[in-house]
Protein backbone atom coordinates (compact mmCIF):
# COMPACT_ATOMS: atom_id res chain seq x y z
CA UNK A 1 0.00 0.00 0.00
CA UNK A 2 1.40 3.37 -1.05
CA UNK A 3 1.57 6.12 1.64
CA UNK A 4 0.21 9.55 0.76
CA UNK A 5 2.75 12.37 1.14
CA UNK A 6 2.14 14.69 4.12
CA UNK A 7 0.92 18.13 3.00
CA UNK A 8 2.72 20.96 4.68
CA UNK A 9 0.72 23.87 6.12
CA UNK A 10 1.27 26.99 4.06
CA UNK A 11 0.08 29.49 6.80
CA UNK A 12 -2.73 31.01 4.74
CA UNK A 13 -5.11 31.00 7.71
CA UNK A 14 -2.56 32.87 9.83
CA UNK A 15 -2.17 35.60 7.16
CA UNK A 16 -5.95 36.03 6.98
CA UNK A 17 -6.17 36.18 10.78
CA UNK A 18 -3.43 38.84 10.94
CA UNK A 19 -5.14 40.96 8.29
CA UNK A 20 -8.47 40.67 10.12
CA UNK A 21 -6.78 41.62 13.40
CA UNK A 22 -5.15 44.68 11.77
CA UNK A 23 -8.53 45.82 10.37
CA UNK A 24 -10.14 45.40 13.79
CA UNK A 25 -7.34 47.38 15.45
CA UNK A 26 -7.71 50.24 12.93
CA UNK A 27 -11.46 50.29 13.57
CA UNK A 28 -10.94 50.36 17.34
CA UNK A 29 -8.46 53.24 17.10
CA UNK A 30 -10.88 55.18 14.88
CA UNK A 31 -13.74 54.58 17.34
CA UNK A 32 -11.60 55.75 20.29
CA UNK A 33 -10.53 58.90 18.44
CA UNK A 34 -14.12 59.64 17.48
CA UNK A 35 -15.22 59.23 21.09
CA UNK A 36 -12.43 61.58 22.27
CA UNK A 37 -13.49 64.23 19.74
CA UNK A 38 -17.12 63.90 20.88
CA UNK A 39 -16.12 64.29 24.53
CA UNK A 40 -14.02 67.36 23.68
CA UNK A 41 -16.94 68.89 21.79
CA UNK A 42 -19.29 68.28 24.72
CA UNK A 43 -16.73 69.88 27.07
CA UNK A 44 -16.32 72.89 24.79
CA UNK A 45 -20.09 73.31 24.53
CA UNK A 46 -20.44 73.28 28.32
CA UNK A 47 -17.54 75.70 28.68
CA UNK A 48 -19.08 78.11 26.15
CA UNK A 49 -22.45 77.90 27.89
CA UNK A 50 -20.82 78.75 31.22
CA UNK A 51 -19.12 81.79 29.68
CA UNK A 52 -22.52 82.93 28.34
CA UNK A 53 -24.13 82.43 31.75
CA UNK A 54 -21.42 84.46 33.48
CA UNK A 55 -21.77 87.24 30.87
CA UNK A 56 -25.35 87.61 32.12
CA UNK A 57 -23.95 88.92 35.40
CA UNK A 58 -22.45 91.91 33.64
CA UNK A 59 -25.57 92.38 31.50
CA UNK A 60 -27.77 92.49 34.63
CA UNK A 61 -25.40 94.90 36.35
CA UNK A 62 -25.35 97.23 33.34
CA UNK A 63 -29.14 97.06 32.87
CA UNK A 64 -29.60 97.85 36.56
CA UNK A 65 -27.50 100.98 36.06
CA UNK A 66 -29.57 102.07 33.06
CA UNK A 67 -32.91 101.28 34.73
CA UNK A 68 -31.89 103.30 37.79
CA UNK A 69 -32.50 106.35 35.64
CA UNK A 70 -30.54 109.54 35.31
CA UNK A 71 -29.66 111.90 32.51
CA UNK A 72 -26.53 110.02 31.43
CA UNK A 73 -25.37 113.10 29.55
CA UNK A 74 -21.72 112.78 30.57
CA UNK A 75 -19.27 109.87 30.56
CA UNK A 76 -19.05 108.26 34.01
CA UNK A 77 -16.21 105.76 34.56
CA UNK A 78 -17.65 104.70 37.94
CA UNK A 79 -20.51 102.94 36.12
CA UNK A 80 -18.54 101.96 32.98
CA UNK A 81 -20.53 104.43 30.89
CA UNK A 82 -19.70 106.50 27.81
CA UNK A 83 -22.16 109.24 26.83
CA UNK A 84 -21.11 108.92 23.17
CA UNK A 85 -20.66 105.91 20.90
CA UNK A 86 -17.31 104.25 21.36
CA UNK A 87 -15.02 103.45 18.45
CA UNK A 88 -15.57 99.84 17.41
CA UNK A 89 -13.73 97.08 15.61
CA UNK A 90 -15.06 95.94 12.19
CA UNK A 91 -17.07 93.32 14.12
CA UNK A 92 -18.85 96.04 16.15
CA UNK A 93 -17.01 95.44 19.45
CA UNK A 94 -15.89 98.63 21.27
CA UNK A 95 -12.11 98.87 20.94
CA UNK A 96 -11.71 99.61 24.65
CA UNK A 97 -12.84 96.01 25.31
CA UNK A 98 -10.35 94.49 22.90
CA UNK A 99 -7.29 96.03 24.60
CA UNK A 100 -4.96 93.15 25.38
CA UNK A 101 -4.20 91.50 27.66
CA UNK A 102 -6.43 93.27 30.18
CA UNK A 103 -8.86 96.12 29.44
CA UNK A 104 -8.39 97.49 32.99
CA UNK A 105 -10.01 100.90 33.14
CA UNK A 106 -10.71 100.81 29.38
CA UNK A 107 -9.03 104.08 28.58
CA UNK A 108 -10.80 105.99 31.34
CA UNK A 109 -14.29 104.83 30.37
CA UNK A 110 -14.56 102.23 33.13
CA UNK A 111 -13.53 101.47 36.69
CA UNK A 112 -11.36 98.47 37.53
CA UNK A 113 -13.59 97.72 40.53
CA UNK A 114 -16.44 96.87 38.12
CA UNK A 115 -14.51 93.90 36.72
CA UNK A 116 -16.24 90.65 37.73
CA UNK A 117 -13.37 88.37 38.79
CA UNK A 118 -14.38 84.71 39.12
CA UNK A 119 -10.79 83.46 39.52
CA UNK A 120 -10.61 83.72 43.29
CA UNK A 121 -12.96 82.53 46.00
CA UNK A 122 -14.92 84.83 48.25
CA UNK A 123 -15.57 83.88 51.84
CA UNK A 124 -17.38 80.57 52.11
CA UNK A 125 -16.70 79.51 48.50
CA UNK A 126 -14.80 76.40 47.54
CA UNK A 127 -11.64 77.02 45.52
CA UNK A 128 -12.34 73.87 43.47
CA UNK A 129 -15.66 75.23 42.13
CA UNK A 130 -14.30 78.46 40.68
CA UNK A 131 -15.45 79.47 37.22
CA UNK A 132 -11.97 80.87 36.49
CA UNK A 133 -13.41 83.61 34.31
CA UNK A 134 -13.00 87.37 34.22
CA UNK A 135 -15.88 89.52 32.96
CA UNK A 136 -15.53 93.09 31.67
CA UNK A 137 -18.33 95.32 30.42
CA UNK A 138 -18.96 98.80 29.10
CA UNK A 139 -22.12 100.80 28.31
CA UNK A 140 -22.16 103.39 25.55
CA UNK A 141 -25.01 105.66 24.52
CA UNK A 142 -25.74 105.43 20.82
CA UNK A 143 -25.22 109.15 20.28
CA UNK A 144 -22.64 110.93 18.18
CA UNK A 145 -21.81 113.43 20.95
CA UNK A 146 -22.11 113.54 24.73
CA UNK A 147 -24.45 116.06 26.33
CA UNK A 148 -28.21 116.44 26.22
CA UNK A 149 -30.16 113.96 24.13
CA UNK A 150 -30.43 115.07 20.49
CA UNK A 151 -32.79 113.00 18.35
CA UNK A 152 -30.87 113.99 15.21
CA UNK A 153 -27.58 112.67 16.57
CA UNK A 154 -28.78 109.65 18.55
CA UNK A 155 -30.27 106.29 17.71
CA UNK A 156 -33.64 106.21 19.47
CA UNK A 157 -36.06 103.53 20.56
CA UNK A 158 -39.32 105.48 20.43
CA UNK A 159 -42.04 104.38 17.99
CA UNK A 160 -44.45 107.06 16.72
CA UNK A 161 -47.87 106.72 18.27
CA UNK A 162 -50.51 105.49 15.83
CA UNK A 163 -53.84 107.31 15.68
CA UNK A 164 -55.43 110.64 14.89
CA UNK A 165 -53.75 113.96 14.29
CA UNK A 166 -55.54 116.17 16.81
CA UNK A 167 -53.70 118.86 18.71
CA UNK A 168 -54.08 116.93 21.95
CA UNK A 169 -52.32 113.80 20.65
CA UNK A 170 -49.66 112.52 23.02
CA UNK A 171 -46.21 112.65 21.49
CA UNK A 172 -43.67 110.17 22.81
CA UNK A 173 -40.35 111.67 23.81
CA UNK A 174 -37.54 109.92 21.99
CA UNK A 175 -35.24 107.88 24.21
CA UNK A 176 -31.68 107.01 23.28
CA UNK A 177 -30.49 103.45 22.85
CA UNK A 178 -27.69 102.09 25.00
CA UNK A 179 -25.30 99.37 23.87
CA UNK A 180 -24.00 96.97 26.51
CA UNK A 181 -20.84 95.13 25.45
CA UNK A 182 -19.36 92.32 27.52
CA UNK A 183 -16.04 90.50 27.25
CA UNK A 184 -15.48 87.19 29.06
CA UNK A 185 -11.94 85.81 29.45
CA UNK A 186 -11.58 82.15 30.37
CA UNK A 187 -8.89 79.52 30.83
CA UNK A 188 -6.52 78.53 28.01
CA UNK A 189 -6.91 81.93 26.32
CA UNK A 190 -10.65 81.52 25.66
CA UNK A 191 -12.45 84.78 24.99
CA UNK A 192 -16.06 85.62 24.12
CA UNK A 193 -17.92 88.84 23.42
CA UNK A 194 -21.62 89.55 23.96
CA UNK A 195 -23.78 92.58 23.17
CA UNK A 196 -27.28 93.86 23.85
CA UNK A 197 -29.06 97.08 22.91
CA UNK A 198 -31.52 98.46 25.45
CA UNK A 199 -33.45 101.61 26.30
CA UNK A 200 -34.65 103.02 29.63
Q: Assess whether the previous peptide bond of 97 is cis (omega < 30° from 0).
A: no
Q: What is the pLDDT of residues 67-91, one digit of tens each?
A: 887 778 899 999 999 999 999 999 9
The phi, psi pair for 117, rounded to 5°, reads -100, 110
Residue 5 lies in a domain: no
Residue 7 included in any domain: no
Domain span at residue 94?
A: 12-198
Element (H, E) at 21: helix 12-67
Domain-located, residue 32? yes
Domain assignment present for residue 64? The answer is yes
Least trusted range by pLDDT, from 8-22, 35-49, 84-98:
35-49
Domain count, the chain: 1
Residues 121-150: what's their mean pLDDT?
78
Q: Please say if the pLDDT value at position 179 is more than 70.
A: yes
Mean pLDDT calculated for residue range 154-174: 66
Confidence class for position 136, pLDDT limits 50, 70, 90: very high
Indicate whether 84 belongs to any domain: yes
Q: 153 versus 47: which is more confidently predicted?
A: 153
Percent of the chain scored above 70 by pLDDT? Answer: 77
**173/20 Cα distance (integer angstroms):** 79
Residue 54 predicted with pLDDT over 80: yes
Mean pLDDT of 86-111: 87
Q: Is residue 4 part of a domain?
A: no
Pairing relationship of beta strands 116-117 and 134-141 according to DSSP bridges? antiparallel
Residue 121 within a domain: yes
**Which residue blocks in the chain are alpha helix, DSSP H?**
12-67
Give the distance, in angstroms, between the CA of residue 110 and the centroid of all CA atoms in the same chain: 19
Is 129 among the domain residues? yes
Rounded Cα–Cα distance for residues 45 and 192 (Å): 13
Mean pLDDT of 11-25: 85
Residue-by-residue DSSP string for 97-114: GS-SS--TTGGGTS-GGG
Question: How far is residue 39's CA from residue 35's CA, in Å, rounded to a whole number?
Answer: 6
Amino acid sequence: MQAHPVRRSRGVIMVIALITLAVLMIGAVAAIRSMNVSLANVGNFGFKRDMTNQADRAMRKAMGTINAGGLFTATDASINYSAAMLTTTPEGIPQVLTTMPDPGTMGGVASARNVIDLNSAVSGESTTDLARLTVYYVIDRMCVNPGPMDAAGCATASVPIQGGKSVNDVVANPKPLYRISVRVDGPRGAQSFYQATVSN
